[in-house]
Amino acid sequence: MKTKQILLGFYLALLGTFAQAQNGLESIIVETYYVSNAADAAGSVGLLPAGSVTYRIYADMLPGYKFQVLYGVPDHELKITSTANFFNNEDYGSTSPNGISVTNTRKNTVMLDSWFSVGANAAGKVGILKPDDTDGALVNSNGILQNADPSAGVAISVKDGMITGTPEAVTFVGFTTELNVFNDVSQAGNSFSTLNGSIASLNGSTGPTAANRVLVGQFTTLGVFGFELNVQIGTPTGGVQNFVARNPVGAEILIPSLILAPNNPPTVSVTAPLNGANVITGDNVAITATAADVDGTVSSVEFFVGATSVGVDNVAPFTASWTSTIGSHNITAKATDDDGDFTVSSIVAITVANNQAPSITVSAPASAVVGDAVSITTTTGDVDGTVSQVQFFVDNVSIGVDNSAPFAMNWTAVLGNHTIKGTATDNRGATTTSSSVSITVVNNVPPTAAITAPTSGATYTAAQVVAIAAAATDPDGTVAQVEFFVNNVSVGVDASSPYSFNWTSVIGSASLTVKSTDNRGAVTTSAPVVLSIADPNALPYAVVTTTQTCLPSTVCLPLKAVDAVNDVIGYDVIMNYDNTMLTPTGVVTVDNDLINPAFVEIASSIDNTNGRMYISAYFNSNAPGNAEFCLLYTSPSPRD
């Protein structure tokens, strides 16, 4: 109960006597006192990681004011924290420096011990900001603590931050085990906190200079350091002022410097290029990164390729540009926040190689016909980029360029043997020419054409339908159509095999032909097929075409019935002859094995001027329908 009463006495005195118009506590000053190195770590008694930082805390007051107490009470927690454990010297370390002699302070790493103070730095020494130190420095007995890290300002081997004086004693009130974190065991913990304890100067403490800055603590840690302080000071008129880190009540005063929040370093990651990316030598590589700071701002991002800085960007989005060089490279980004903390990103590894030329294979038919549209196709690729174009050549003469896949070209075939090739160009200008392929171009072979039905010499009666059939083939292509003609006049077209057309016959001689056209336009005309088309209303007999040997003085003209008819009583024959070659006698006889000549009566006349002979034969009885009659006339010898 005694310690609590003492603490409450300080606290109640503060509440009851505050009546000042100005703030006697101007701020809390945090000094980076020293940064340990590997030599310090090796020479330390007590674990001291290399890179540990020693911080000193000063209460900066107006002249005439006295430091009285650091305290923690309900709603006003007093705490000292780090993200790593605190260092305590295990040789002569203590929770306060008042009992550490100057001789012992010189030894190993005693000067870096963690403790609370109300002004003292050692027995008979008071703490002072290093720049204000006027009496030089203690010489370390073990030859360590020589690091001159620029982040700590003046090296303690030059100015050790202590001068001769008579410091006030430290009174600890209300603690049980809380102070063990700063006792003589190093790395015992990383947090000190109290809601019912105080570190007091019973007589009040003033600074050693007119600036009136009182050293209230020294703490060494490898982690991120922070605190929340509540301070009571005495006024020049005997009153008190209370300054709190949070939640001020009544006359309590809130000032920002009573809180040192452990700074969270920024986060950073390289977003481009991707890890494992392949890049071509000479490419302009765009490097981008994302960076953030949860308790502040990102002041800059610096980009590195290997250990070489390639750019700094102070404004998001954070970017840099690098011209690639051949080889394997590690890209990182270093983000720095507004408190000076920095984070280096994970490595993004890339490989830079020289550009590889594209690949190309050309395909085309081995043969073609003159006039064909020959399709030329390609298979292309580029292992480290894209194919931008393919130029096509026939016999080393360019026939065109295709700028988009699939790369292809049509060429109109010309007669002869030819070679075809292509040249592919990639997106970086590298080219590859394909192997050549050969093509033979020949003239078109016309199709065949023939009438297969009817046969030449067939006879039909007018209006009878004649079924015309044709055969057509093409040895180097296809038959496009077959056109049917009668006496050279088109009567129909058939575009598919079997080729046929039905023609309604008309009177007279009909010469049938067909024309086949192939897929390239070549045309072939068939041999003619000649038909006789009779008039159904005419006499049923006709002069038969015949070849025979007659006596020199006679000519035989056979007559044949076209159809079987009855009651034929006669017929007329008009015979034209060359009157320069012969002179008819006009003698006409009937010669027939089946017909009695006595049944035939003959009348004839001769027009020798016009070379024409008129013969009339009359049947006086019914003649058989298939009877043949031979009219014979005697002719003189040919004229001279």
Kindly report, residue by residue over 334-375, the tens digit of the pLDDT. 999 998 889 999 999 999 999 999 999 999 999 999 999 999
Least confident of 165-169, 174-178, 561-565: 561-565
245-252 long-range Cβ contacts below 8 angstroms, 24+ apart: 245/76, 245/77, 246/75, 246/76, 246/77, 247/75, 247/76, 249/75, 250/15, 251/15, 251/18
Please report the pLDDT score of residue 551 as a whole number: 54
Amino acid letter, residue 436: S
Please report the pLDDT score of residue 599 as a whole number: 64
Q: What percent of the chain has pLDDT over 90?
A: 78
Write out the two tokens for 538: 């005419």
For residues 557 and 424, the model is more confident at 424
- With cut-offs at 50, 70 and 90, classify the pLDDT of residue 262: confident
Q: Is the pTM of this model over 0.95?
A: no
Please report the pLDDT score of residue 3 as a whole number: 29
Per-residue pLDDT at 629 exceeds 80: no
Kindly report, residue by residue over 127-161, the tens digit of the pLDDT. 999 999 999 999 999 999 999 999 999 999 999 99
Q: What is the dihedral of CA 115, 117, 120, 126, to 10 degrees?
A: 100
294-299 long-range Cβ contacts below 8 angstroms, 24+ apart: 294/264, 295/261, 295/263, 295/264, 296/263, 296/264, 296/266, 296/337, 296/338, 296/339, 297/337, 297/338, 298/266, 298/268, 298/335, 298/336, 298/337, 298/338, 299/336, 299/337, 299/338
Please report the pLDDT score of residue 227 as a whole number: 96
Please report the pLDDT score of residue 527 as a whole number: 97
The mean pLDDT of 388-401, rounded to a whole number, is 97
Mean pLDDT, the chain, rounded, equals: 88
Write out the two tokens for 95: 């929770």
Cβ partners under 8 Å of residue 454, min gap 6? 466, 467, 468, 512, 529, 531
CA-based nearest residue to 487, from 543, 440, 528, 446: 528
CB atoms within 10 A of CB 527: 11
Please report the pLDDT score of residue 364 as a whole number: 97
Per-residue pLDDT at 633 exceeds 50: no
Kindly report, residue by residue over 3-41, the tens digit of the pLDDT. 222 233 333 333 333 334 489 999 999 999 999 999 999
The mean pLDDT of 412-428, rounded to a whole number, is 96
Please report the pLDDT score of residue 632 as a whole number: 44
CA-based nearest residue to 26, from 256, 366, 315, 293: 256
The mean pLDDT of 293-315, rounded to a whole number, is 96
The mean pLDDT of 527-540, rounded to a whole number, is 85
The mean pLDDT of 491-496, rounded to a whole number, is 97
Please report the pLDDT score of residue 9 as a whole number: 35
The label of the residue with tokens 């019935």 reads: 561
Please report the pLDDT score of residue 1 as a whole number: 26
The mean pLDDT of 62-84, rounded to a whole number, is 97
Please report the pLDDT score of residue 636 as a whole number: 41
Write out the two tokens for 293: 């700071």
**∠ CA 314-320-326, rounded to 5°:** 155
Q: Is the dihedral of CA 143, 145, 150, 152 positive or negative?
A: negative
CA-based nearest residue to 165, from 137, 123, 197: 123
For residues 125 and 561, the model is more confident at 125
Please report the pLDDT score of residue 581 as a whole number: 77
Q: What percent of the chain has pLDDT over 70?
A: 85
Please report the pLDDT score of residue 614 as a whole number: 74
Gap between the Cα atoms of 201 and 182, Å rounded? 19
Kindly report, residue by residue over 573-628, the tens digit of the pLDDT. 777 777 887 677 767 666 554 456 666 777 778 888 888 877 777 655 555 555 55
Q: What is the largest CA-CA distance in the chain?
A: 186
Please report the pLDDT score of residue 397 as a whole number: 97
Please report the pLDDT score of residue 491 as a whole number: 97
CA-based nearest residue to 512, from 460, 457, 451, 467: 451
Kindly report, residue by residue over 444-467, the tens digit of the pLDDT. 999 999 999 999 999 999 999 999
